[in-house]
Amino acid sequence: MSGFDHKKYRPFPTINLPDRQWPNQVLDKAPTWCSVDLRDGNQALIDPMTVAQKKRLFQLLVKLGFKEIEVGFPAASQPDFDFVRALIEENMIPDDVTVQVLTQAREALIDRTIEALKGAKKAIVHVYNSTSTVQREQVFCLERNQIIDIAVNGVRMVKERVEKHTDTEWRLEYSPESFTGTELDFAVEICDAVVEEWGPNPEQKIILNLPATVEMSTPNVFADQIEWFCRNIKHRECLEISMHTHNDRGCAVAAAELGVMAGADRVEGTLMGNGERTGNMDVITMAMNLYSQGVDPELDLADVTEIIQVYEACTNLEVHPRHPYIGELVYTAFSGSHQDAIKKCLSKYDASKPWEVAYLPIDPKDLGRSYEAVIRINSQSGKGGVAYILEAELGLKLPRWLQIEFAGKVQRYTEEQARELKQQEIIDLFQQHYLNTEQQFELVTYKLERSDNDFLNATIRCGDQIIELSGDGNGAIHALTEALSAYIEQPVQIAEYSEHALSAGSDAKAVTYVQVKLGDAVNTGVAISEDTVAANLNAVLAAASALIQEKDLIAA
Ligand SMILES: CC(=O)SCCNC(=O)CCNC(=O)[C@H](O)C(C)(C)COP(=O)(O)OP(=O)(O)OC[C@H]1O[C@@H](n2cnc3c(N)ncnc32)[C@H](O)[C@@H]1OP(=O)(O)O
Ligand SMILES: CC(C)C(=O)C(=O)O
Ligand SMILES: [Mg+2]
């Protein structure tokens, strides 16, 4: 039992719609998008945007492909008014973009709104009034018919004014604000009255926008509300049903998705979901959700860096690192098993087939993210991630036994440091342990005579001395271990061995990984050379040096 008095709240009533159809629908095309960043997003900021900031954000929204953009509440403030004027007077609105403005159903505000839009080629006038029970009873203290009068009078005032400006192509949007808290029969009644007042016309559809001004229920109940409304509203063919969901319960995107399945045509939302309280529906998330299902989102969101830069500069808000699709960390795997699975899937990925990579719902490259940023190493990581970085950065395909060995060293280091390791630190650690080691034996020159039993003659620097070693065996490595065994009078054996080409072309290099055994002791050597035999010999010498030195076996 929590200490909360949960009886303070009531469950949201369910909708009686036993033959609901929306659960059987599939989202297979993008809705009409309308950005309300410059209005709902703006009204929720600590410091509303300046005209310059609004211009910058408007230009980004146009670039992303929004064709309907709510640019403000021009009657609210001088900057809001001036911005709309600037858009029109500076010819900033492309022909295929329609600007939308919001107003309450009050004469002075409507006058100012129409004044702001003078000279626009196309415009949507968005009128709203609150219709929910709580607003009617406690805020407006009015009966249902009086609330309908506010809406109808508002629409009439808009109609009378726009009729005087025939150079603009006008559309009406009406929102029964607080729709989610409104009895459905009343929502339909007030919207029918608005449509009758404006005049239904299938050529010039009225937008009826159904807002979850406050998100009050699970998204399935919201979808029932939308389906019920769509079934019962008159003149459906003359209407574009829009939704405007807020995120109070964290389900604004889910509600909008189910709402489209339930019959809505249009979705209002904002970038990153900026908006009142917990925000509006996040257009980026909904669009990318569609994209991840193979549906064209009809918005160009590929340049995430620019989107984030402009958004942060205009709103003074920061994008959360875990924000769906675009947060800094959302394609990053720290945990070992995730890294291992991503590495394996990416190595098998065939670009001609549908994307199928564990833990990555979409290809990070689609949003300008590199795979390098996908795998990051901390104490939760494993061999797969470490190996991925060495392969991605140095082209080294570590054999499994060396992945395990090196991951252990990385693990100890990251635990000591108690933090994430940068890619360069992993590379440095590898070089320090395997490539830049100070070794007793260094190859100066060699001669390998190939026959049934290869014969090796190698000149080796050992401290200040130059020594000649020779031996024969099945290949250069075997011949060298035979030569070393004879020199130190103890058997030197190869426990593990692997090699691969490092790069293609005439300047190709080879890399050899070996594990050398001397008595009970083992040690690893790695060497890179333009000559495969030299890479083999150097790797063996690197591994053997430390063992021989440790056992103090160098002949005087
Ligand atoms: C859910 C939403 O996001 S709705 C959009 C909300 N956005 C905003 O409010 C931001 C911009 N608003 C503003 O700058 C201001 O509210 C203004 C300039 C529009 C109006 O300011 P004011 O008139 O000073 O005050 P306020 O907004 O408090 O007005 C409330 C009055 O309008 C009435 N009212 C509120 N909404 C509406 C409406 N949609 N239609 C008609 N009347 C309305 C109220 O009943 C109240 O009436 P009262 O004064 O008789 O009590
Ligand atoms: C004005 C309306 C559409 C609104 O922003 C809301 O209800 O949330
Ligand atoms: Mg809103």
As a whole number of angstroms, the distance between CA 503 and CA 509 comes to 6
List of residues 6+ apart from 474 with CB closer than 8 A:
453, 454
Residue 556 has pLDDT above 50, yes or no: no
What average pLDDT score do residues 430-441 get?
Answer: 88
As a whole number of angstroms, the distance between CA 84 and CA 556 comes to 90
Give the angle subtended at the CA of 101 by the CAs of 275 and 125, to the nearest 5°: 130
As a whole number of angstroms, the distance between CA 330 and CA 351 comes to 22
- Whether residue 244 is annotated as binding a ligand: the answer is yes
Q: Mapping DSSP to helix (H, G, I), strand (E, B) and coil, where does residue 218 land?
A: coil
Pocket of ligand 2 (CB under 6 A): 40, 102, 128, 175, 177, 209, 211, 213, 244, 246
As a whole number of angstroms, the distance between CA 269 and CA 209 comes to 12
Does the beta carbon of 411 sit less than 6 angstroms from any atom of ligand 1? no
Yes or no: domain 441-550 corresponds to CATH 3.30.160.270 = yes
As a whole number of angstroms, the distance between CA 116 and CA 129 comes to 21
What is the reported pLDDT for 479? 97
Does the beta carbon of 140 sit less than 6 angstroms from any atom of ligand 1? yes
As a whole number of angstroms, the distance between CA 250 and CA 206 comes to 29
Beta strand residue intervals within 111-260, DSSP E: 122-130, 169-177, 206-212, 239-245
As a whole number of angstroms, the distance between CA 373 and CA 370 comes to 6
Question: Quick one: what percent of the chain has pLDDT higher than 70?
Answer: 98
Distances 467 to 97, 372, 449, 472 between C-alpha atoms, Å: 81, 45, 19, 17
Ligand 3 centre to CA of 101 (Å) is 13
Residue 536 has pLDDT above 80, yes or no: yes
As a whole number of angstroms, the distance between CA 427 and CA 393 comes to 8
Q: What is the pLDDT of residues 164-214, one digit of tens each?
A: 999 999 999 999 999 999 999 999 999 999 999 999 999 999 999 999 999
As a whole number of angstroms, the distance between CA 178 and CA 250 comes to 17
Buried b (16+ CB within 10 A) or exposed e, 372-382: eebbbbbbbbb
Output the six-digit token pair for 336. Answer: 């070992």
Residue with more model confidence, 334 or 188: 188
- Strand-pair partners of 268: 34, 244
- Strand-pair partners of 173: 126, 207
Can you spell out the DSSP letters for 269-326?
EBGGG--STT-B-BHHHHHHHHHHTT---SS----HHHHHHHHHHHH--PPPTT-TTT
Report which bound ligand comes closest to the CA of 176. 2
Contact between residue 123 and residue 98 where contact means Cβ atoms under 8 Å apart: yes
As a whole number of angstroms, the distance between CA 222 and CA 154 comes to 27
Q: Which of 423, 351, 364 is nearest to 392 (CA)?
A: 423
Ligand 2 centre to CA of 248 (Å) is 13
Buried b (16+ CB within 10 A) or exposed e, 311-348: beebbeeebeeebbbbbeebbbbbebebbbbbbeebee
Q: Which of 362, 365, 359 is nearest to 340 (CA)?
A: 359
Which atom of ligand 2 is nearest the CA belonging to 102? 1
As a whole number of angstroms, the distance between CA 210 and CA 226 comes to 8
Q: What is the pLDDT of residues 245-273, one digit of tens each?
A: 999 999 999 999 999 999 999 999 999 99
Q: For the chain, what is the mean pLDDT?
A: 95
Q: What is the strand order of the sheet 441-449 is part of?
A: 441-449, 454-462, 465-473
Q: Which of 268, 246, 199, 239 is nearest to 31 (CA)?
A: 268
Topology given in CATH for the domain delimited by 21-315? TIM Barrel (3.20.20)
Does the beta carbon of 129 sit less than 6 angstroms from any atom of ligand 1? yes
H helix runs in 371-497, sequence order:
383-394, 400-417, 423-430, 476-488
Q: Phi and psi of 348, rounded to 5°?
A: -100, -5
As a whole number of angstroms, the distance between CA 420 and CA 410 comes to 11
What is the reported pLDDT for 37? 98
As a whole number of angstroms, the distance between CA 101 and CA 77 comes to 13
> Can 21-315 and 441-550 be said to share one CATH topology?
no
Contact between residue 433 and residue 406 where contact means Cβ atoms under 8 Å apart: yes
List of residues 6+ apart from 338 with CB closer than 8 A:
358, 359
As a whole number of angstroms, the distance between CA 468 and CA 544 comes to 16
Which atom of ligand 2 is nearest the CA belonging to 280? 8
- Residues near ion ligand 3 (CB < 5 Å) are 40
Mean pLDDT lowest among 195-209, 408-422, 492-506: 492-506
Residue 373 has pLDDT above 90, yes or no: no
Contact between residue 554 and residue 440 where contact means Cβ atoms under 8 Å apart: yes
Output the six-digit token pair for 239. Answer: 């209407």
Provide the residue ranges of all domains of the chain, joining segments of one domain with +. 21-315, 336-435, 441-550
Q: What is the pLDDT of residues 132-158, one digit of tens each?
A: 999 999 999 999 999 999 999 999 999
Which atom of ligand 2 is nearest the CA belonging to 36? 5
Residue 525 has pLDDT above 80, yes or no: yes
Residue 548 has pLDDT above 50, yes or no: yes
Kindly indicate the confidence band of residue 441, based on its pLDDT and cuts at 50, 70 and 90: confident
Residue with more model confidence, 457 or 451: 457
Buried b (16+ CB within 10 A) or exposed e, 484-510: bbebbeeebebebbbbeebeeeeeeeb
